[in-house]
Amino acid sequence: MKRVSLALADGRQLIYFDERDDAVRDIVDQRELPPPPPASELRYDALVDEWVAVAAHRQSRTHLPPTDECPLCPSRDGRLTEIPASDYDVVVFENRFPSFSDRPVDLPPDVVARPALGRCEVVCFTSDHNASFATLPPSRVRTVLEAQIDRTVELSALPGVEQVFCFENRGVEIGVTLHHPHGQIYAYPFIPPRTRAMLAAARGRPVFSELLASERAAGVRVVAANEHWTAFVPVAARWPFEVHIAPHRRVPDLPSLDDAERDAFGPLYLDVLRRFDGLFGVQMPYISGWHQAPVHEGRDVSHLHLQIFSTRRAANKLKHLAGSESAMGVFINDIRPEDAAHLLREAG
């Protein structure tokens, strides 16, 4: 894999991850762009001991443009995009409308707040606007994985970053604003609530590793597996269709995976995504994200895993977060996890 880094017209970083070593990446971004926006704010919610990001500039971000105006497609004559090249394999660049950044911001004097220092990046999986992650070959999944590993290493080294989160949103039902196959990477300046809860539950022992061993032994909620990875529906799944994909060897983060584990991930992940799409014969909306250990703590009890879930609970029904889920954080699932695992196995 060849890695080439350059600067876009407004100074943001863009990195090509090419599968061919002879790829040439010398095209300069010719656009005239305004300077990047100021950083967002982090405001402290003392009632629940959590930080909330306020990013007002994101109100003006691009929203579901037509295909011929997609900012993630390659540039062409008369249409310059975020990617200067006329074709690419995988590209990562700094988000033009970031939730977190390293830029200055004026903070209100009457609240407990601090700059939302960090970084947000966009990961384009393919130059094909009409593709999806499920249609990628395993070799491309490996390239995406290597890009995520590269970014996890670099972003973890930035001052103030506490956790790196690589994720993908797909489907308007989820709330995507761009249809082009892409994901994102957030470098958080704090440990997010879900990770804090998992670390608190671990209490000095690798709870996820124990749960994985239990699921592999029981088998009833296992959807698919290979020599290095198992995909299973968690015993207390919150979402109608939710799958965790975990390496059998406990590692804290993506850079800790060995070559065999990296090679084995793609075929299994593609299998799970195609099962999701096969459930109802339509593309499933989903969120897919890597749970990695924080940068500075809990690494001895964390077990890297990918969580993928959909809000679709039937062919023509979605799960909406209503009163109990939204107001109190208490999820009520309409489908038994064992039934969801069975349906996903049958959809293969």
Catalytic amino acids? 182
- Comparing C-alpha atoms, which of 120, 119, 107 is closest to residue 43? 107
- Determine whether the annotation assigns residue 73 to a binding site: yes
- Total number of residues shown for the chain: 348
Q: How far apart are CA 313 and CA 339, in angstroms?
A: 12
Query: Can you point out the beta strands (E) in the chain?
Result: 2-7, 13-18, 41-45, 50-54, 90-94, 113-115, 119-124, 163-170, 182-188, 222-225, 229-232, 241-247, 286-291, 305-310, 312-314, 317-318
Residue 120 assigned as binding residue: no
129 is in an annotated binding site: yes
Residue 124 is labelled as binding a ligand: no
Distance CA 263, CA 40 (A): 38
| Amino acid identity at 156 | S
- Residue 31's CB is within 10 A of a number of other CB atoms, namely 13
Quickly count: other Cβ atoms within 10 Å of residue 10's Cβ: 14
> DSSP letter at 63?
-
Which of 64, 94, 84, 310 lies closest to 185, judged by CA? Answer: 94
Exposure pattern of 103-136 as b/e (b: 16+ CB <10 Å)?
eebeeeeeeebbbbbbbbbbbbbbbeeeebbbbb
Q: Which residue numbers belong to the known binding site for Zn(2+)?
A: 70, 73, 129, 180
Annotated binding-site residues read 70, 73, 129, 180
